[in-house]
Amino acid sequence: MNRKTVIACIAALAALAAIVAAAVFFLYSGTEDTKTSEIASEGRTGLLAAVPSDAVMVIGFSDLKSACRLLTDTSGCFHYFTGGSDGSLFQKFLEKISSADLGTLKSSRAVLSLHYNGSLVPLLAIDAARAGSGPDGDAGRFIAEADSAGLSCSLLDCSEIADVSAYLHRRDIILLSTSDVQPKSAQRHIARGISVLDSDGFADCVRETPREDNTVFLSCREAGKFFAGIARRGVSGYADFLKRFSGWASLSVDDADSVHLRLAGTSVSDKGVEDFMNVFKGYSPSRSAVASILPSYTIFFASLPFDDVSAYISSADAFADSAGKLGRIELSRKQLRKDSGLSPVQWAGTLDIKEVAAAFFKVGGSVEKMLLMKLGNKDMSTVFRDTDPSSGKDSSPKVCSYPYAGFASSVFGPFFSASDESCFTYMDGWIIVGSRPAVSEYVEGRALENTLQEYAEDASARLDFMSEAKCFVSYLSVSEGADVLSDVFSGPYAETLAKSAEGFSYVPLTLCVSKDKSGSISVTAETFRISDMKTKAPVFERDTVVVVPKGPFKVKNSGTGKMNLFYQQDNMYLCLKEVGGKGLWGVPFSSPICGNAGTVDYFANGKLQILFASGSKLYLIDRLGRYVSPFPVDLGKEILLGPGIYDFNGNRKYNVMILHKDNTIEMYNLQGRRPAQWKTIASDETIKGLPEAVKVGGKTYWVVRTSIQTLIFGFYGGEPLTRFEGDRMIRSDSRITPGEGVSVKAVCYDGRTHTIKLQ
């Protein structure tokens, strides 16, 4: 599956879940009549009447102090929402204000709203004082600080413009924004008696919410604007899928500390079957078990557990019919029945599917999408006939040809499809569908050597969906999927989300939709941030791809004393340019270089040359683009990565470290000879890169990362000095730091830092 497809699928159901408050699309509550004027007159909610009606999202805070803390604290979710183009200016001001002496203003209620104007623009409204009291010292200092920070800020006496029956008529409010458009818009809306409270469903949502303090309100109907403000072009289009979930929805902070955040909420809908949230009302939920069959390195999954698959199909088909899409779905089902001889609905009913999930995880160097279906009827002979993997004398799992490609998506929706549904296996009551390499992860044992459920339990992350019946669950691991964040979210938002996970080894985000006995639908969104944790040592290789950098590589120009960039073009030409971009030269070359380049003073005369490798040879080129004799030097076997360049004694007698394509590491001098004492470094596991030199007790040792663990070798190679098994193995991502004497400190798979003696 290509990268673009992975990003799109993750965005479709998880983009807003990644910022936690996104979960609100799946909520439902009653539709009790609520009068806007009644809410607008209450002190508890009256400040909401200052928010213009075009708000995409609204966040209510108990006081300005809480607003400052939550909008600037990267450990919380609200910090994310002000990370737009001018967000850093807004956040820096709030950080400054949070420590300023503003008297009673700090305890005043505040509301943040987001408005779309090409990007998401924040507006902060603060309940300042009684109307007509004017800018006192505290409010005056706040406004002066905002003006000096380049923000738009004003004090509004609402008694002059607000309706006499409204709460705002009795108040002065401060309006703060990165744009002068939003405060003016708020003033016009207050004068006309129009606000976000008049937006369809918002007043009902407020009424259904136990409190508005530290609560997120999101307009599902305006999800397109929200997505356009935070997501990359091409991803934001998936907001169309979200618009029909409900009207307005809310999530309140239910529990929060430095490592855990949980939000719970409700939503309202003024429509019947046309809102997707009501699909959940049509069937009984069940406890999700998919985490017990997914690998610990899962990036994302979404799952529908149910008690009766027929009830789910009936409810989902009613929703599709209201959208005018049922006819197309039925045509697709008829074609699949014609091709296979079995109706998709009959297929699902015969197997008595209890849960269907789609999941993404890495297989080798690529991300694969898998389909997983839990069966109530484990006698599959009537459905799979000749390809039933559960039949026969050999009960061990095997990769089989899958005859029902497209069936899951025709029954459960387009998300439950994979680009390659050619193979499947049966394991522990689950059908697992995908490409041959992906299914082989299960058959060969790698996928289940440490399951996602075991991994989460070891991290003490008590994920909601593993314990109670749910209608829908989804999961995103920021730590596993960090490399796609910048492709899903626009720059500032991707950076903010990535920073929130820095320094943590495991950051799961979950979204769960539940239904109580009365039929009411609710949602929870939760995130944990786990630092050091016990990790089960892997048995099988998983990530066997060695990344070979393409440059450019920084090299010092001895003629100018400046740093230059050495790189290779697509046509194989070797080039040197200044860091600012001015090209210095380009010379022809015939093969790819091997991922590294550096300078040496080969003639020991103060002039530097660039050393690099290609094929099985070392090459040397000077700062003017001239190849240097007696190079190239043939090392005798193909190079995968190198050279790593070392001058151990500072006498310009250079040695290089090379990772060869046969999974060995060798040391050479610049004549291509190994030191007499050198012994080849080899491993049964894939060596992932060049060795790292670490000095301990006055000696140099080599740290070698493999696909399973970290090994440490003596200066002249040979056998590893670290011979550990199981949880005592050093994690492949562990930092190696010198300890006392001849020892290093490293984190092992038992989750603890150990002191390891190297003699």
**pLDDT tens digits, one per residue of 184-195:** 999 999 999 999
Q: How sure is the predictor about 4, in pLDDT bands with cuts at 50, 70 and 90?
A: very low
Answer yes or no: is pLDDT of 83 > 50. Answer: no
pLDDT at 461: 82
Answer yes or no: is pLDDT of 162 > 70. Answer: yes
Residues 302 and 261 in one domain: no
Q: Any idea what DSSP says for residue 546?
A: P
Residues 310 and 371 in one domain: yes
Answer yes or no: is pLDDT of 3 > 70. Answer: no
Residues 583 and 614 in one domain: yes
Least confident window among 55-64, 237-246, 517-526, 609-618: 237-246
Structure tokens at 540: 């099988």
Q: Are 313 and 304 in contact (CB under 8 A)?
A: no
Boundary (domain end) residue, out of 205, 239, 266: 266
In a domain, residue 518? The reply is: no
Percentage above 90 pLDDT, the chain:
45
At 645, which CATH number? 2.40.128.630
pLDDT at 93: 87
Residues 404 and 551 in one domain: no
CA angle 451, 452, 455 (to 5 degrees): 90
Answer yes or no: is pLDDT of 624 > 90. Answer: yes
In a domain, residue 279? The reply is: no
Residues 259 and 327 in one domain: no
- First-to-last CA distance in the chain? 47
| Domain, as residue range, for 664 | 537-687
Residues 154 and 191 in one domain: yes
Structure tokens at 712: 């440490």
In a domain, residue 88? The reply is: yes
In a domain, residue 349? The reply is: yes
Boundary (domain end) residue, out of 202, 233, 266: 266
In a domain, residue 566? The reply is: yes
Crossing angle of helices 326-340 and 344-351, in 10° steps, is 80
Helix (H, G, I), strand (E, B) or coil at 515: strand
In a domain, residue 384? The reply is: yes
Answer yes or no: is pLDDT of 689 > 70. Answer: yes
E strands, 538-663, are 553-556, 563-568, 574-578, 583-587, 597-600, 609-614, 617-622, 633-634, 639-646, 655-660
DSSP string covering 365-430, please?
TEEEEEEEEEES----HHHHGGG-TT-SS--S---EE-S-TTHHHHHH-TTS--S---EEEEETTE
Boundary (domain end) residue, out of 402, 429, 449: 449
Answer yes or no: is pLDDT of 23 > 60. Answer: no
Answer yes or no: is pLDDT of 671 > 90. Answer: yes
Q: Are 278 and 319 in contact (CB under 8 A)?
A: yes
Which residue in this structure is represented by tokens 């109706």?
343
Least confident window among 158-162, 194-198, 255-259: 255-259
pLDDT, the chain, mean: 83
Q: Rank 39-53, 158-172, 539-553, 706-720 by mean pLDDT and report only the highest.
A: 706-720
Q: How sure is the predictor about 268, in pLDDT bands with cuts at 50, 70 and 90?
A: low
In a domain, residue 543? The reply is: yes
Task: Look at 108 and 31; give whichever has higher pLDDT.
Answer: 108
Q: Any idea what DSSP says for residue 317?
A: H
DSSP string covering 318-383, please?
HHHHHTT-HHHHHHHHHHHHHHHSS-HHHHHHHHTEEEEEEEEEEETTEEEEEEEEEES----HHH
Half-sphere exposure of 32 (CA within 13 A, CB side): 10
Task: Look at 29 and 645; give whichever has higher pLDDT.
Answer: 645
Residues 198 and 316 in one domain: no
Residues 292 and 160 in one domain: no
Least confident window among 90-94, 248-252, 325-329: 248-252
Structure tokens at 451: 């399951």
Residues 260 and 396 in one domain: no
Number of domains making up the chain: 4
- Count CB atoms within 10 A of the CB of residue 200: 13
Let me know how many helices (H) and strands (E) the chain has, helices first: 17, 37
Mean pLDDT of 521-534: 77
Q: Are 175 and 183 in contact (CB under 8 A)?
A: yes
**pLDDT tens digits, one per residue of 334-351:** 999 999 999 999 999 999
Structure tokens at 190: 């207050």
Mean pLDDT of 68-89: 57
Residues 695 and 669 in one domain: no
Residues 704 and 661 in one domain: no
Residues 47 and 146 in one domain: yes
Which residue in this structure is represented by tokens 């050495």?
566
Bridge partners of residue 730, in order along the sequence:
748
Helix (H, G, I), strand (E, B) or coil at 189: helix
